[in-house]
Chains A and B, each alone.
Chain A
Amino acid sequence: MRNFIEFSLGIIIAFSLYSIIGKISFSLSQLLNFFTLIVLYFAMTRGEIYGAFMGTICGLIQDAFSLGVFGINGLTKTIIGFLAGYVSQKLNVIPLRRNFLFIFVMISAEIALSSFLYYFISAEYVNEITPIVLFQPLSTAVIGSLIFLFLRKARIFSTQK
Chain B
Amino acid sequence: MPLVLREKKKLAILFILVFFHLILISLQIPLGEEKNFLEKTVFFIFSPVQHGMTVFFKTIGNVWNNYFYLTEVQKANKQMKEEIFLLRHENNQLRKALEELKNNNSIQEYISAIHDSFLIAQVIGIDSRNVYRSIIINKGSLDGLKKNMIVLDKKGNLIGRIISPISLKEAKAQLITDNDSGVGVITQQSRAIGVLTGDGKGNCDLNFIYVTEKVNEGEELLTSGLDHIFSSGIEVGKIISVADDVSLFKKIKVKPNFDFRDLDMIVVIPGYLGDF
Q: Which residues of A contact B (CB under 8 A)?
A: 12, 15-16, 18-20, 22-23, 26-27, 29-30, 35, 48-49, 52-53, 56, 60-75, 78-79, 82, 121, 124, 127-128, 130
Contact = CB atoms under 8 A, between A and B. Distances in A.
5 contacts: A61-B42, A63-B42, A65-B136, A70-B25, A127-B200
Interface stretch (B15-23, B97-105, B216-224): B15-23
Interface in B9-31: 10, 13-14, 17-18, 20-22, 24-25, 28
Interface stretch (B45-53, B112-120, B183-191, B234-242): B45-53
**What 10 pairs between A and B have smallest CB-CB spacing?**
A127-B200, A66-B129, A75-B21, A64-B42, A71-B24, A71-B25, A19-B53, A62-B128, A64-B43, A66-B127
B164 to A, nearest CB: 11
A70 B50 CA distance: 19
B79 to A, nearest CB: 24
B220 to A, nearest CB: 25
Nearest to A126: B200
A56 B14 contact: no
B13 A70 contact: no
Nearest to B134: A67
B132 interface: yes
B42 A26 contact: no
Contact of A62 (B129, B163, B165, B199): B129
B93 interface: no
Contacts of A68: 129, 133, 180
Contacts of A60: 38, 42
Contact of B49 (A15, A26, A73): A15
Contacts of B35: 70
Interface of B: 10, 13-14, 17-18, 20-22, 24-25, 28, 35-36, 38-39, 42-43, 46, 49-50, 53-54, 57, 124-134, 136, 163, 165, 172, 174, 178-180, 199-202, 260-261
A67 B133 contact: yes
B42 to A, nearest CB: 4
Nearest to A53: B17
B153 to A, nearest CB: 14
Contacts of A49: 10, 13
A48 B35 CA distance: 30
Contacts of B174: 67
Contacts of A56: 17, 20-21
Contact of A75 (B22, B50, B124, B163): B22
A150 to B, nearest CB: 22
Contacts of B200: 124, 127-128, 130
A70 B28 contact: yes
Contact of A52 (B17, B131, B133): B17
A54 B29 CA distance: 26
Contact of A67 (B46, B124, B180, B260): B180
A9 to B, nearest CB: 13
A74 to B, nearest CB: 5
Contact of A22 (B25, B125, B199): B125
A48 B39 CA distance: 25
A124 B25 CA distance: 15
A61 B25 contact: no
A54 to B, nearest CB: 11
Given A65-B136, A67-B129, A68-B180, 7 more contacts: A15-B50, A19-B53, A20-B53, A62-B129, A64-B46, A74-B24, A127-B179
Contact of A65 (B21, B43, B178, B260): B43
B81 to A, nearest CB: 28
